[in-house]
Amino acid sequence: MGLKIKRGDTVVVISGKDKGKRGEVERVIPAKNQVVVGGVNNRTRHAKPSQNNPQGLFTFDAPIHISNVMLVDPTSGEPTKVKYRFTDSGEKLRVGAKSGKDIDG
């Protein structure tokens, strides 16, 4: 089954330690139903110190489950569910359930 959230979408986290944070989807992992959102779910890893990284620490945004994020409606700015509609030419478009406005194009 296809996912309703795509790379570049603005989403809000609806559960977990980062609840309420907004960010842009950087990567989608459909095999695990996960997304990587910029600025959300930051993790720190320890590595052997090097000349480029003398402390040996690096941070990154870890993936979170897609059920813990909700798409932000571009017109109203509120979290919304996603519906689909087909154009006359047969193209499938995502539609915000709250506003009824197109998300794509």
Q: What separation in angstroms does the CA of 34 have from each of 57, 59, 74, 101? A: 25, 19, 22, 26
Please tell me the pTM assigned to this model: 0.84
Write down all domains in the chain, each with its CATH number in brackets.
1-72 (2.30.30.30), 75-105 (no CATH)
Tens of pLDDT along the chain (105 residues)? Answer: 578 999 999 999 999 999 999 999 999 999 999 999 999 999 999 999 999 989 989 899 999 999 999 999 988 889 999 999 999 999 999 999 988 899 875
| Cα separation, 6 vs 50, whole angstroms | 36
| Cα separation, 35 vs 26, whole angstroms | 8
